[in-house]
Amino acid sequence: MRIYKRKGSPNWWVNWNDQSGKRHRRSSGTIDRKLAEVLAAQWVKEDFMEEHFGKKPEVLFSEALLKYAKVHKRDHSKHFMEKTRYRLKMLSEWFGEFNLSEITLAVVQEYMDERLANVSLATVQKDVSTLRAILNKAYREDFLDKAPKFPKFKTLKPRDRWLTSEEEERLVRSASSHLVPLIIFAVETGGRLSELLGLDWHNVDLPNKRVIFRKTKNDEDRTVRLSDRACAVLAGFVSMEDGPVFTYKGRAIKRVKTSFDNARKKAGLDDVRFHDLRHTFVSRLVQGGVQLYDVMHLTGHKSLDMVQRYAHLAPNYQDGAIRVLNDRWHNLGTVDLSCVDGERLSA
């Protein structure tokens, strides 16, 4: 075993050969030589135990979580900062001192039971989904012999609340003046709240009636054509070369939870969330006869799965299928169905 420094690195590196003669080279991650020596001795011991006894070295969940967080932050930076880091913090507080091998089905179930006392099932499902992703990554990287089993969830009915024209009018009348343009623009574009609040004048092309939502949930830019009503919203602002479009007292709006909650309660729409304005956009398109494939591209979804739940709103929903059955029936000719097994059907 040799401990040394590499050119350009302040940390100590370790070089050793295992029992089969295979060379290993690894950074200790520290500038402290004594600590590097301790780590090196531990790695050599772990190699020996795994080779002779088939025992993988124990790895703390907190280490696996940090590895997962680093990759997720790199690949999905915006989503990480807005949501994932808070979920990882919760998981770290609960599982941080566990070794990966200690996280069993029973442990996961205990976590779920505790969380369900304070949050919804949907939130717990997202927590457990992230936990599963962390452990599966650890398994792929050979830190676990096998990934643990997870409890099965009942399928949650997707939310598809949308506003009628009358409900939208009530909401607009009840909203604060700075919130009204945001509500209308959401209904007319189907933009997510994060996309709307992140909209910059640099990405507004009013003469050509379009805007570009940057860094969407799917990490892809999306160009959206604007309706006349959406254009009217933007035309009501003082246009600038750059800077946030939706502002309050000259500053970018960062969140709308309080103002939107006040508006929906005043309008008597207690069950409405801001994201339902996006559902409203989709529902109106489908009701107007727009094909689901086109709706998918307008909303920025990756597949038809997310918009398929609106299919029943289409004006010709299932008409084609019924037409096929009717045509087949008429082509069969006259068939007497007035009796079955020789007995006359009752009226």
pLDDT digits (tens, 9 = 90+) for 275-287: 899 889 888 888 8
Distances (CA, A) of 41 to 29, 37, 38, 60, 264: 15, 6, 5, 18, 63
**Ranges of residues in the chain whose predicted pLDDT is under 70:** 16, 18-26, 43, 45-58, 154-159, 215, 218-219, 302-306, 309-326, 328-330, 332-347
- Distance between CA atoms of residues 22 and 83, nearest Å: 42
Q: Among all chains, which residue has been given the structure tokens 């989709």?
A: 282
- Distance between CA atoms of residues 101 and 148, nearest Å: 9
pTM, rounded to two decimals: 0.58
CA angle centred on 74, ends 72 and 79, rounded to 5°: 60
Radius of gyration of the chain (CA): 29
In DSSP notation, 80-92 reads IIIIIHHHHHHHH
CA nearest neighbour of 277 among 188, 153, 198: 188
Helices (H) and strands (E) in the chain, counts: 15, 10
- Distance between CA atoms of residues 278 and 187, nearest Å: 6
- Distance between CA atoms of residues 283 and 311, nearest Å: 9
CB 188 within 8 A of CB 229: yes
- Distance between CA atoms of residues 163 and 183, nearest Å: 12
CA nearest neighbour of 43 among 69, 64, 13, 65: 13
- Quote the pLDDT of residue 108: 86
- Quote the pLDDT of residue 104: 83
- Distance between CA atoms of residues 239 and 170, nearest Å: 28
Mean pLDDT, the chain, rounded, equals 80
- Quote the pLDDT of residue 38: 80
CA nearest neighbour of 188 among 297, 298, 105, 271: 298
For the stretch 147-167, pLDDT in tens is 777 877 766 566 678 899 999
CB 224 within 8 A of CB 208: no
In DSSP notation, 131-174 reads HHHHHHHHHHTTS-SSPPP-PPPPPPPPP-----HHHHHHHHHH
- Distance between CA atoms of residues 64 and 62, nearest Å: 6
